[in-house]
Structure 1
Amino acid sequence: MRYEEITHIDAPVELIWSLTTRIDDWPAFLPTVQRLERLDAGELRVGSSARLKQPGQTSAVWTVTRLEPMREFTWETHRTFLRLTGRHLLEPVGAGTRMTLVLETAGRAAGVASTVFGGMMRSSLRRESTGFARRAATVHP
């Protein structure tokens, strides 16, 4: 199953990319992130991982699988019979940025997870998108 949230943010793509890839800062401005612990040092890169605690969920280790500067940050986690893939896609639009947040579920438990948690996943994407837009407004008035 695929969930998607598209938002236009009135800030340059460079700023939104910085907010997106500086994941250590996420708990300060994203209501969808309670705790985040980097499991490696340095800049975010393919193979980087972090332990992420989100509301109503147990902690999970997310690993970066694709990183295309200023365009895409993708990572995934695995649970029993379920793979979750999160994508942050950025596209410059005039002086602003179109941010597309995607959450995909796959595996034998994907159907059940989508039925039980689909509404929560959609809500989380909306809340996360709003969090990025609000943060961008505070650093790019």
Structure 2
Amino acid sequence: MRFETSVDIDAAAERVWRVMTDVARWPEFTPTMTTVEPLGDGPLSLGGRVRIKQPGLPPMVWQVTEFTEGASFAWRATGGGVTTVGTHVLTPGESGVSVLLGIDQSGPLAPVMGLLLGGRTRRFVRTEAESLRRRCESGDAV
């Protein structure tokens, strides 16, 4: 199962990248994140782990599996017979950037989870994209 959405953001690519990778601050601007706790020191990077609690879902530990500075990262969490991969891709344009957010779910229970939580997953991904846009286009500190 795959869910994805994209959003155009009227802000510098560097700002969008900073906001997108400062994951501990996500709960400040998106209601889909209750807590985001990095499990290590330093900025988000390949191999880094983060514990995320979202409304109505159990906490999950995500590990960064792909990381291209200034451009993209992906992370993976496994639980309940489902492996979930979240992708975050930033593409600079003529006036701002486009950000693509995606969720891929696989495993023996992925079809069942898709039926049960697919609507929530779509709403969460869309809300996260719109929240990122609002944060990056605002004057709020990063």
Q: Identify the TM-score tier after normalising by the shorter chain.
A: over 0.9
Query: What are the Cα deviations for residues 95-141 of structure 1, in whole angstroms up to 9, with x where unaligned?
Result: 2110000000000011001111111111001100111011012138x
- Structure 1 match to 2:95: 95
What residue number does 1:76 align with?
76
- Write the distance in 1 (CA, Å) between the matches of 2:58 and 2:81: 16
Q: What value does the CA root-mean-square deviation take over the aligned residues?
A: 1.0
Q: Distance in 1 between matches of 2:76 and 2:95?
A: 30
Q: TM-score, normalised by structure 2?
A: 0.95
Aligned residue number for residue 130 of structure 2? 130
For structure 2, the residue ranges without an aligned partner over 5 or more in a row are none
Any runs of at least 4 consecutive aligned residues in structure 1 with deviations exceeding 6 A, and if so which? none
The percent of aligned pairs where both chains have the same amino acid is 33
The separation in 1 between residues aligned to 2:90 and 2:33, in whole angstroms, is: 20
Q: CA deviation at 1:15?
A: 0.9
Q: Which residues of structure 1 form unaligned runs of 5+?
A: none
> Matched residue of 2:46: which SS?
coil
The yes-or-no answer on 1:108 pairing with 2:108 is: yes
Q: Which amino acid aligns with 2:49?
A: S
Match of 2:122, SS state, is helix
Number of equivalenced pairs: 140
Does the alignment pair 1:62 with 2:100?
Answer: no
Helix, strand or coil at the partner of 1:42? coil
What per-residue deviation string (whole Å, max 9, x for no partner) do you get for residues 16-68 of structure 1?
Answer: 11011111111111111111111100121111111100011011101100110
| C-alpha distance in structure 2 between counterparts of 1:92 and 1:36, whole Å | 26
